[in-house]
Structure 1
Amino acid sequence: MSRSAPPPAPPPAPASPSIRLTSPHLRRVIGEPPGPLTGFLANLVLGLVARLSRGTREALARFVGGLAYTLGIRRRVALENLALALPERSEAERHAIAQGVYRTMASTALESLADRDRLPPGWEHEETVGQAAWEALQAHVATGKGALLVTAHFGNWEVLGELLILKGVPLNALVRPLKGALNLRIAENRLRSGAGLIYPKGAVQETVEAIHRGESVFMLLDQAIPSKGVFVPFFGRLASTTPAMAIAAQRTQVPAWVVLGVRDGARMRLHVEGPLPPPVPAEGRDVITEHTAQVTAALERIIRQYPEQWMWLHRRWKYPPPPA
């Protein structure tokens, strides 16, 4: 595998961030801020965590992850998911994967809060898996066109977005409305890294507008949604999945790339697949579902290689498909 060229200087923030820390739009994303006392205590703790050294963060992540697993916090959900998705693995192997998941999630949370050393060491010279796909994405962005980037709750998806911006890909991140001081801090870090935020209500239209401005959109495609989802195979079972990415691809006629950051010790490798051509209307075919299934299959291929890096704590198959 060839090594990526040194990255260009960090690009300016996307033109779209009409969303700022004090704007009502951001309030829709993160909810109302915590009360004065709760906010003070939360910010005190988060401020201390943010200043930890990389080595201290890693040690704390191992401790917190191990403690959460030992206490059984959503452990049953994780093991049930692993049994459904990876029945060929032994019970001991699935328990080991679950323990790795807890460490990954703890590391992701602590890294996402950090004020310094957020990026993995040597990121500017790290090898990319799927070099041809990565070069195709860079060439597409260099034309001034936006791209659709699909990822998952895998590795550290927050730092991955920052890394892509530093590598010259202007981003808008689709976010879900979550409340609390922790989510406020994460939203602040996203904006400081130069990312725009897109709220789920009206997300397809905002995505289309961002693409037309030459900005790429970063979208998580691995969570169950209760309504308006399409059911596509994921580890051999139908899973309710948002069609927003496929609809945006059809409207803009731009391709999609699957981009994940694979942890390798303290380092992180980009794993890129694509381009996946946009759906083309065809009589008698549900091209939106087909395109969503293509992208989901690419996510599954990478997750199968590194199952301890995906968030098995989420009930991915929570919603049953309608009767045939």
Structure 2
Amino acid sequence: MECAAVSAPVSSHPPPSQINTSPEGKKPPEHLRRIIGEPPGPIVALLTRGVWALLTALSPAARDALARFVGNLAYTLGIRRKVALDNLAQAMPEKSEAERRAIARGAYITMARVVVESLPAGDRMTPDWDKQGIEGEEAWAALKAHVATGKGVLLATAHFGNWELVGQMLIRFGVPLNALVRPLKGALNTRIAENRLGAGAGLIYPKGAIQEITDAVNRGESAFMLLDQALPAKAAVFVPFFGRLASTTPAMAVAAERTGAPVFVVMGVRPPGPGARFRLEVEGPIPAPKPGEFADPITEHTARVTAALERAIRRHPEQWLWLHRRWKVQPPAALVTAPSPGLTSGPAPESAPKV
């Protein structure tokens, strides 16, 4: 799965008529409300409709219990467990083996929760979804102020917490957005795409994505992008992530250069306890390099945004998807021996959340 002034106060619930709709009834353009990919066959579609109905009928507490069972079972069976533990051993060598195993188990539960919470119809969040608070209030205020000008922003996130529902939360908070996605196949991905559209998000696919983002920003819509997936080397830039160079899409930085839109990192941190509720952690705007400051400003800007993602993941490592082979694409040998200057995690800016 991919990948997401505020018109209502953060502490208020939207009226029922606004649930799963974009602010003020605004919808993305028709061409962004389509699903591209391979739908399930008729038999699979029939069978999965029953599963979706069952998940919809379950209470939030029952969904959470189911997700914890599935996540623990997958970890116990060892499905991609070696990948997760290898990733953690290299990314967090300071942790003990027991600590890394606990983080890995938490990552499995996080993944199961994302699936179980993202598939039901109707309202998928708890009634107190907007009562969890926001870390990084200055950054959030800057984001809202820019949206109030009628221009969109660029929002980076990761496979963390529940990125699907964080996108829905942003829409409810008055930030119209479009999610950058890839054409995918199967009943699971089709259902998630349907629910994205039902929440009021538009879908931007890779072909012509930069122009679509530019148009969206000018319409006052924001782009919501996952920046923590490995890309083929020819389509990627390589930036530090937990001490290793990782292939990363440059699309966010290219779009920022093209549009001049500010970039914010938005993560949804799940507090203890059952239910789909999240505290937003916001950092930004994350500045692009000044003209002439770096030979490769796109890579440098990507590195700065990726560093912000890493800071959030380090605070809550069990909520990130360690099962993904993030470093599977190797950087060119020349880059390993002589990395570009300026690519560093660096200190968090003043607008970063304090924890």
CA RMSD of aligned residues (A): 1.6
CA distance in 1, matches of 2:13, 2:303: 32
- Segments of structure 1 that go 5 or more residues without pairing to the other structure are none
Is 2:181 the counterpart of 1:175?
Answer: yes
Instruction: Output the amino acid matched with 2:302.
Output: T
Change (3 A) 1:220 1:286: same
Aligned pairs (5 A) from 1:69-108: 69-108=75-114
CA distance in 2, matches of 1:8, 1:276: 30
Tell me if the contact between 1:146 and 1:215 (Cα under 8 Å) persists in the aligned partners.
yes
Aligned pairs (5 A) from 1:98-177: 98-177=104-183
Length-normalised TM-score, structure 2: 0.85
Q: 1:241-299 deviations in whole A, cap 9, x for unaligned?
A: 00000000000011100000000024310000001134544275210001000000000
Structure 2 residue aligned with 1:255: 262
Give the counterpart of 1:19 among 1, 9, 32: 32
Q: CA deviation at 1:8?
A: 6.6
Is 2:251 the counterpart of 1:244?
Answer: yes
CA distance in 1, matches of 2:244, 2:254: 23
Q: CA deviation at 1:114?
A: 1.9
Counting matched residue pairs gives 315
Tell me if the contact between 1:112 and 1:158 (Cα under 8 Å) persists in the aligned partners.
yes
Structure 1 residue aligned with 2:241: 234
Q: 1:3-43 deviations in whole A, cap 9, x for unaligned?
A: 9453677412433242345xxxx23xxx2222211211122
Is 2:53 the counterpart of 1:43?
Answer: no
Q: CA deviation at 1:165?
A: 0.1
Structure 1 residue aligned with 2:340: none
**Comparing 39-48 with 97-106, which one deviates more in the overlay?**
39-48
Identity %: 64
Q: CA deviation at 1:229?
A: 0.4
Structure 1 residue aligned with 2:197: 191
CA distance in 2, matches of 1:32, 1:284: 42
Aligned pairs (5 A) from 1:218-233: 218-226=224-232, 227-233=234-240
Q: 1:109-150 deviations in whole A, cap 9, x for unaligned?
A: 111012244124422233100011001101110110100000
Change (3 A) 1:214 1:7: farther
CA distance in 2, matches of 1:298, 1:168: 24
CA distance in 2, matches of 1:112, 1:103: 14
CA distance in 2, matches of 1:96, 1:116: 33
Tell me if the contact between 2:288 and 2:297 (Cα under 8 Å) persists in the aligned partners.
no
CA distance in 2, matches of 1:168, 1:221: 23
- Segments of structure 2 that go 5 or more residues without pairing to the other structure are 1-8, 335-355
Give the counterpart of 1:287 among 274, 287, 297: 297
Give the counterpart of 1:213 among 213, 216, 219: 219
Q: CA deviation at 1:309?
A: 0.2
Secondary structure at the aligned position of 2:95 is classed as coil
Instruction: Output the amino acid matched with 2:315.
Output: Q
Change (3 A) 1:136 1:7: farther
Length-normalised TM-score, structure 1: 0.93
Change (3 A) 1:283 1:59: closer
Instruction: Output the amino acid matched with 2:197.
Output: L
**Comparing 63-72 with 110-119, which one deviates more in the overlay?**
110-119
CA distance in 1, matches of 2:58, 2:190: 19
Give the counterpart of 2:287 among 253, 277, 285: 277
Q: CA deviation at 1:236?
A: 0.4
